[in-house]
A = this chain, B = another copy of it.
Amino acid sequence: MKKISLALLAAGLVLVNGSVLAQQAAGAAMPAPVDRAKILVAPGVFGNFSTYKVRPDYYRMSAAERKGAVAEVLAVVDKHKDKVIVDAYLTRGFEAQSDYFLRVHSYDMAATQAFLVDFRATRFGMYSDVTEQLVGMTKALNYVTKDKSPTLNAGLTSASYSGEAPRYAFMIPVKKNAEWWNLSDEQRLKEIETHTLPTLGNLVNVKRKLYHSTGLDDTDFITYFETADLGAFNSLMLALAKVPENKYHVRWGSPTVMGTIQTFENVVKTLSMAN
């Protein structure tokens, strides 16, 4: 009778009409779900990464209540599917600061916030502490373009992932120092070319995606990787460590977040188990 969630369900303050924010953002009705293939390659898209740790008291709820967590989370994902897409990763066993992380894409950062606010109001979200949160946006290539660096651009374009389905994902923030940003555009292009060349070989077994964050967060970039081959990923990162560009890094990782690629459903289910 004194259970928390029952009290909450019984009360009027529930997500019947969604959050104030969601209503604002939902101004223009947009019935079609976000096109996943399209949003993942478009520039001007907002990427939002958040890591979470399930609080110990989650496991003091009855197993029945925890069982309901999955459906509640999926309902929130479904409610926002015309505005955001969500990817989930299990980090327990790899990270001390988190049990899972989410990657959310949208064309409107407020829509992402609306989704995350609703997620945090679910039982599972409520028992999760946010431990890291990074925001960024995608842009068109601005260094290794067809014009500025034709050969390398061709290499980048032709190289494509041919490994088995990726099982692991990495989220790694990168921040550069004032010396880097005070280089001329030509100097930076040269460094980027030097960094790109030795990594072309890894594009067959590591997928990459870049988000720009300067000013939006305490990082300049969020780099995101997927792979099935952890050794290849380690080789790629060593190659990046061995180029001069590395000398301009003031943050590379901290945290490095590694997770297995999972459905959101599986992440919630796995983390809801207890003996």
Query: A: which residues have CB within 8 A of B?
Result: 4-5, 7-15, 19-21, 44, 46, 48, 50-51, 55-57, 59-60, 62-64, 66-67, 72, 90, 92-96, 109-110, 112-117, 120-123, 126-127, 129-133, 135, 137, 167-168, 170, 172, 178-179, 181-182, 212-218, 220, 230-231, 233-234, 236-238, 240-244, 246-247, 249, 253-256, 258, 260, 262, 266, 269-270, 272-275
Q: Which residues of B contact A94 (CB under 8 A)?
A: 48, 109, 113, 133, 135
Measured in the bound complex, the distance between the Cα atoms of B129 and A8 in whole Å is 22
Flag if B215 contacts A126 (CB, 8 Å).
no
Flag if A270 contacts B21 (CB, 8 Å).
yes
Flag if B56 contacts A127 (CB, 8 Å).
yes
Flag if B63 contacts A11 (CB, 8 Å).
yes
18 examples of A-B residue contacts, CB within 8 angstroms: A8-B275, A11-B64, A13-B67, A13-B272, A14-B274, A20-B266, A21-B90, A56-B127, A93-B115, A93-B133, A110-B260, A178-B249, A179-B247, A181-B242, A182-B244, A215-B233, A216-B230, A217-B258
Measured in the bound complex, the distance between the Cα atoms of B262 and A253 in whole Å is 33
Flag if A273 contacts B182 (CB, 8 Å).
no
Flag if A133 contacts B96 (CB, 8 Å).
yes
**Min C-beta distance of A48 to chain B, whole Å:** 7
Interface residue from B4, B63, B135 paired with A12 (Cβ < 8 Å): B63
Chain multiplicity (copies): 5
Q: Known contacts A62-B7, A215-B236: does B273 contact A15 (CB below 8 Å)?
A: yes
Interface residue from B10, B212, B234 paired with A234 (Cβ < 8 Å): B212
Closest to A21 in B: B270
Flag if B132 contacts A112 (CB, 8 Å).
no
Interface residue from B9, B220, B258 paired with A135 (Cβ < 8 Å): B258
**Min C-beta distance of A120 to chain B, whole Å:** 6
Q: Which residues of B contact A9 (CB under 8 A)?
A: 275
Flag if A50 contacts B12 (CB, 8 Å).
no
Closest to A96 in B: B133
Closest to A244 in B: B182
Interface residue from B113, B220, B260 paired with A260 (Cβ < 8 Å): B113
Measured in the bound complex, the distance between the Cα atoms of B67 and A48 in whole Å is 30
Q: Which residues of B contact A262 (CB under 8 A)?
A: 20-21
Flag if A275 contacts B123 (CB, 8 Å).
yes
Q: Which residues of B contact A96 (CB under 8 A)?
A: 50-51, 130-133
**Min C-beta distance of A169 to chain B, whole Å:** 12
Q: Max chain B CB contacts within 10 Å: which of A131, A168, A170, A230?
A: A230
Measured in the bound complex, the distance between the Cα atoms of B12 and A115 in whole Å is 30
